[in-house]
Amino acid sequence: MRLDIISIFPEYFAPLDVSLIGKARERGTLDVRVHQLRDWAHDVHKTVDDTPYGGGPGMVMKPEVWGEAIDDVIEGGSPRMVVPTPSGRPFTQELAQELAQEPWLLFACGRYEGIDSRVMEEYSGRLRVDEVSIGDYVLAGGEVAVLVMVEAVGRLLPGVLGNAQSAVDDSFAPGAMRNLVEGPVYTKPPLWRGHEVPAVLLSGHHGNVARWRRDEAIRRTVRNRPELAAALDPATLDKHDRKL
Ligand SMILES: N#Cc1c(-c2ccc3ccn(Cc4ccncc4)c3c2)n[nH]c1N
């Protein structure tokens, strides 16, 4: 998978040189290219923003600069374009799975009050353009959101996770974990400061362990994410004696 990221703060993406994503880049599974938007601003100050039409606070990113940058980066190709914005569709595990199937993603990182909407309008005619939000809170720009999405998507690519089963057991994963969050996890020692590991996990009985884990996942979902639990099959809740 090729990932292009356009930003006025390319240094935000240094974390993509380390850990799982860094190793995937070394192996060639991921080809990440970060671009400085100001390289396409031609005035002496490398200006990328201007005052908003209609008035109001803050500044808006100029369409001309974005248009030149995107045209140069895509070179007539057709990546799927992802634009982080507080007003976007929710970024979910399902969307991460969908994006992980794409051969080429282009992330446009806005700053200030956002990117002139005509940029998304222009490229929607040529590319699949998704305006996406990572949550109901406001950031200062799109860079952190892109880091979140790149990690969520990158870990789903073949060979990136040491154990492919991890992605299957993830919270929110399609299939058995749909609308569920994961239960608690434990490791050695069996006793720590008077806290014991649940005996079932030491029993070696795989069926009982699987049942316990699912029960704990449902218990935690009901407690922490009742809106997800509401989407669970009522039979699932009954079988695990869980009430909303
Ligand atoms: N994804 C995502 C986001 C963002 C986000 C993303 C891109 C930009 C570009 C600029 N801003 C600042 C801004 C813009 C408009 N209104 C208020 C602030 C951004 C915020 N905030 N919260 C999220 N969940």
pLDDT per position as a tens digit, 96-137: 999 999 999 999 999 999 999 999 999 999 999 999 999 999
CA 22 to chain centre: 16
CA contacts within 13 A on the Cβ side of 158:
5
Q: With bands split at pLDDT 50, 70 and 90, how would you rate the model's confidence at 165?
A: low
Which amino acid is residue 190, in one-letter code? P
Pocket test for ligand 1, best of 7, 9, 66, 85 (most atoms within 8 A of CB): 85
Rounded Cα–Cα distance for residues 184 and 191 (Å): 16
pTM score over 0.90: yes
Is 155 one of the annotated active-site residues of the chain? yes
pLDDT digit string, tens, across residues 13-49: 999 999 999 999 999 999 999 999 999 999 999 999 9
pLDDT of residue 244: 55
Ligand 1 pocket residue status of 134, Cβ below 6 Å: yes
Res 234 pLDDT > 90 = no
Res 242 pLDDT > 70 = no
pLDDT of residue 243: 59
Give the number of the atom of ligand 1 that is nearest the alpha carbon of residue 112.
Answer: 10
What percentage of the chain carries pLDDT values higher than 70?
A: 95
CA 171 to chain centre: 13
For residue 189, is the peptide bond before it cis, meaning its omega torsion is within 30 degrees of 0? yes
Ligand 1 pocket residue status of 10, Cβ below 6 Å: no
Rounded Cα–Cα distance for residues 164 and 174 (Å): 14
